[in-house]
Each structure stands twice: as C-alpha cells, then as structure tokens.
Amino acid sequence: MKYNTFLFDLDGTLLDTNELILQSFLYTLNRFYPGKYTREEILPVMGKPLLDQMRLFGPDRAEELVRVYREYNLAMHDALIREFPHVSQTVKELFLRGAKLGVVTSKQRLTTLMGLRYFGLENYFSAIVTMEDVKAHKPHPEPVLTALERLKAEKEEALMIGDSTFDLDAAHAAGVDAAAVAWSLKPLELLRSCNPEYILHDIRELLHLATPLMNQSVAWGDSGTAGV
C-alpha cells in the first residue's frame, strides 16, 4: 500500500515531549497532592486532552490543575523538548515529494505551534488540527476527518502515525490506516492490540510507504522496511 497523505500525532511521535509532559504533571500533582502520584500512573492517560486527564487526578480541581500545568509547561518548554531522530529529514522529504501532511493533536494550538516552530517544521504541514478545532477528541474520528477535509485528501490514500491507542483508534474509526511508532512510551504490545497496519521502528520507513508523486531526491538506503 502506498499513501499520498500522512497525518502525524505530535507529542511522542514527531516531538519528544515525554519528559516535558511528565515533569509538568509531576510538578502540578505534587503541588496539590504531594507524593500521591508517580510517573507510572501518569503514562496511561497521556494522549487525552489535558482537562480530561486532570479530571482523573483531581476531579474537583481539574481546571486549577490545568492552569498550573500549563504555566510550568510553557516555562520549561524549550529546555525539555527534543526532536526524535530523522524527523526533520523525513518530513521535509515527504513534503518535497508532494505528499499532503497534517498534524492531529489533542494539545492546544499555542504549544503545538511552539514545538513545530522550535524545530522548523511548521511550514511543512498544510493542516494542523488541535484541541480548539474539534468538539470531540481522539479516539473519536473527528480530528482525523477534520485534517482530511482541510487537506482535501481521501481516506484510502492516508496514513495516521501515532504513539498511543488514541491515535490508532481514531484513525481506524475514521476509516484510515494507522502506523504505531515503536519509540512510544506505551508498551508495544498495547499498541499492537489496536491492530495498526504498520509498526514503525524508524520514521524514515515512511519514505517506503509514500506514493512517488514528484521528486524523490533523498534515498536513505536499505535500513529497513515498515512492517507489523
């Protein structure tokens, strides 16, 4: 199967914000509930909209928790954010080939754009769907369908790439193929349970899955082929 449209989750897929997110949670939760929560208890809810996550930890103080989290997250953003290997190279090459590219994330637009701009990625994406753009969030199909509509792309020609079950389930609910990334903090066995069409161990594997549309200037050799 070859694709001309690629939809990416942001956190944990394109950008390594794992430590930023975990530190933001720990700072916030320890401020309100000292010593009550651990990293292991935070990991399973990562990928949901922030307010929904905070309702799980402090249902009566969720909005206050969100405010403190965002203050810390913004202050520490540039110090803790990282890019996963070969992301810029691969996104640029897909763009040069003429692929339609989108970001589908449950985070707010402000920090989404901060992360993309920090690594010079923003201009490669013709559709950036954030929490403000939809009423229902992943795993609901609305964010994926919104990105397809903005890109004027067909479901059958699109691939959604993500690091959580929310990404994979949203893709399948929208009728779109899904690729799980093996660099997720989520257990690979959990991601496999969503039956993704592909498991990516290196983001450059997407170049093998792209429809040859225009220019294919960069070849990265025989380092691997995407597969389940």
Catalytic residues: 9
Residue type, 80: L
Q: How far is CA 145 from CA 84, 88, 110, in A?
A: 26, 25, 22
Q: Please list the helix, strand and coil fractions of the chain in percent, rounded to the nearest 5, in that order.
A: 50, 15, 35
Q: Look up residue 157 and give its DSSP letter.
A: G
Q: Measured between alpha carbons, how far is 55 from 22 in angstroms, rounded to an integer?
A: 16
The SS3 call for residue 8 is strand
The SS3 call for residue 42 is helix
Q: Which residues contact 48 (CB under 8 A, 6 or more apart)?
A: 106, 137, 166
